[in-house]
Structure 1
């Protein structure tokens, strides 16, 4: 290690990209957790900009990193995600699921290669979630580092539902009470407040829709999954109850989510590794060939 590295300065820095390579070596030695925000560039109705998903995920991660720089390094966000079903709305940018997942695997593998043993992927776009989970699994299986994945609203769902939200089932789905409130807090000047208009998705009007197909970020979804074109569900691109959004709700959920992320990273940083157990009678003759 180069003698000119200031360990205290590295401990105080929470942004991955602002470190030099010798400082990255020191940060890995300090066992910092690397946090990767992930979002999308996607339509969010008439009242929210295209950057909702990436801005909320990255803002939450950056605020958490600023509170606990000794525990984490926050990477520049992955701004583009899987949005094929939203392409009827101009402005949306889609990345194919294989390309997207492989990108995340490559980022996570690179971080693990440099000596970081704990990685967190914080997602901000609903349709990314299963792909982010698969990427996190592959990073673990391919590198031996632990990679945790979570969507930011999972950190605050119980609090939001019990203490803050006013909408019923389906009210927090997309450009909704939750996302609009959070964006009002993070970047209120860019909310087109005179254009806020949402509605429950059209499929809830179908027989059995509420029983089988409801979608809500924090109340959970119905037992079935039917991901149709977004334009088949909503005229405006917003489904939920954005009319109930307020700046104060956004502040409350943002601050709670940041605190929960700080607490989660602190736990994850010291979580022990569980040893792998191979139960073959004889060692396999070759390495597992399975990749993604």
Structure 2
């Protein structure tokens, strides 16, 4: 498609594309919260938006990306300056209203693309509730890094808990998409010990869920091993995401 962003179309152009191509709509959902001393507050919203655009540009199917939902559930980060969080029920209303607005315009293929750990359980609930109400809707929800679960062992350089908040994965993606965002002189590794039931790594097979204010994990705001992050790792992450996404689309939507 010539345009991947919903906001770039006029209302008539968009309706014409919907009528002729029946596109898949991606709704990126992020957060605005602290990411330690070396990454900016926009990290979650920026990365999920850029991942969504990369997926759309590299997919053979017709994809349109909505503007990013820039804030999410980040109450556990509110001890750090600049974090903005909304309540879970507010998020349910916001996402549901966005989806129902799209449905009104005869869009019936929707992907909720998440880029923040605090949103995970809420978005799953939203998916369940919407699908119960709209049974003919084709809707998928996933957190972008989950698509890498089978491949991450070949990509990462850090051990367990190295890909956590502002760790190797997010810092590598920032290097890849906009390396000027990374404050290299402020990078600091904070590696938590591996625990038997719950770990902070994005790919940890946790047996339980817990809730803690983030300050109890890290006084500086970051967890993981950003010191090993680099642009090449970011490139590998994006390339593997695009491949896995194409497989997902071909399996679920075709």
Both structures adopt the same fold (TM-score exceeding 0.5) = yes
Mark the runs of 5 or more structure 2 residues left unpaired by the alignment. Answer: none
* 1:247 aligned residue: 231
1:219 is matched with which residue: 204, 223, 233? 204
Q: How many residues align?
A: 252
How far does residue 106 in structure 1 lie from its aligned partner after superposition? 0.9
Q: Structure 1, residues 113-149: CA drift from partner, whole Å, max 9, x if none? A: 2111110011000010111111122222223312210
Deviating beyond 4 angstroms after TM superposition, the runs of 4 or more aligned structure 1 residues are: none
For residues 268 and 114 of structure 1, the distance between their equivalents in structure 2, rounded to whole angstroms, comes to 22
Q: Structure 1, residues 28-47: CA drift from partner, whole Å, max 9, x if none? A: 22111100111001100110
For residues 185 and 264 of structure 1, the distance between their equivalents in structure 2, rounded to whole angstroms, comes to 24
Q: Is the 8 A contact 1:72 1:265 kept in 2?
A: no
Q: How does 1:19-58 map to 2 (within 5 A)?
A: 19-29=9-19, 30-58=21-49
Q: Could you say what secondary structure the match of 2:127 adopts?
A: helix
How far does residue 210 in structure 1 lie from its aligned partner after superposition? 0.6
Output the aligned Cα RMSD: 1.6
Q: Is the 8 A contact 2:59 2:242 kept in 1?
A: no
* 2:214 aligned residue: 230
Q: Is the 8 A contact 1:32 1:269 kept in 2?
A: no
| Residue 261 of structure 1 pairs with residue 241 of structure 2 | no
| Residue 64 of structure 1 pairs with residue 48 of structure 2 | no
How far does residue 70 in structure 1 lie from its aligned partner after superposition? 4.6
Q: Structure 1, residues 144-163: CA drift from partner, whole Å, max 9, x if none? A: 312210001011122122x1
Mark the runs of 5 or more structure 1 residues left unpaired by the alignment. Answer: 1-10, 271-292
* 2:163 aligned residue: 172
The 1:133–1:41 alpha-carbon spacing in structure 2 relative to 1, beyond 3 Å, is same
The structure with the larger Rg is 1
How far does residue 26 in structure 1 lie from its aligned partner after superposition? 2.4
Q: Could you say what secondary structure the match of 2:199 adopts?
A: coil
The 1:70–1:20 alpha-carbon spacing in structure 2 relative to 1, beyond 3 Å, is farther
Q: State the TM-score, normalized to the length of structure 2.
A: 0.93
* 1:153 aligned residue: 145
Q: Could you say what secondary structure the match of 2:71 adopts?
A: coil
Q: State the TM-score, normalized to the length of structure 1.
A: 0.82
Q: Structure 1, residues 5-64: CA drift from partner, whole Å, max 9, x if none? A: xxxxxx432211122222332232211110011100110011000111111111011122
How far does residue 69 in structure 1 lie from its aligned partner after superposition? 6.9
Q: Could you say what secondary structure the match of 1:45 adopts?
A: coil
| Residue 210 of structure 1 pairs with residue 200 of structure 2 | no
Q: Is the 8 A contact 2:54 2:238 kept in 1?
A: no
For residues 26 and 72 of structure 2, the distance between their equivalents in structure 1, rounded to whole angstroms, comes to 17
For residues 15 and 39 of structure 1, the distance between their equivalents in structure 2, rounded to whole angstroms, comes to 17
For residues 22 and 194 of structure 1, the distance between their equivalents in structure 2, rounded to whole angstroms, comes to 49
Q: Structure 1, residues 159-188: CA drift from partner, whole Å, max 9, x if none? A: 122x11122221111101111111111110
| Residue 94 of structure 1 pairs with residue 85 of structure 2 | yes
- Indicate the larger mover: 134-143 or 55-64: 134-143
1:105 is matched with which residue: 88, 91, 96? 96
* 1:118 aligned residue: 109
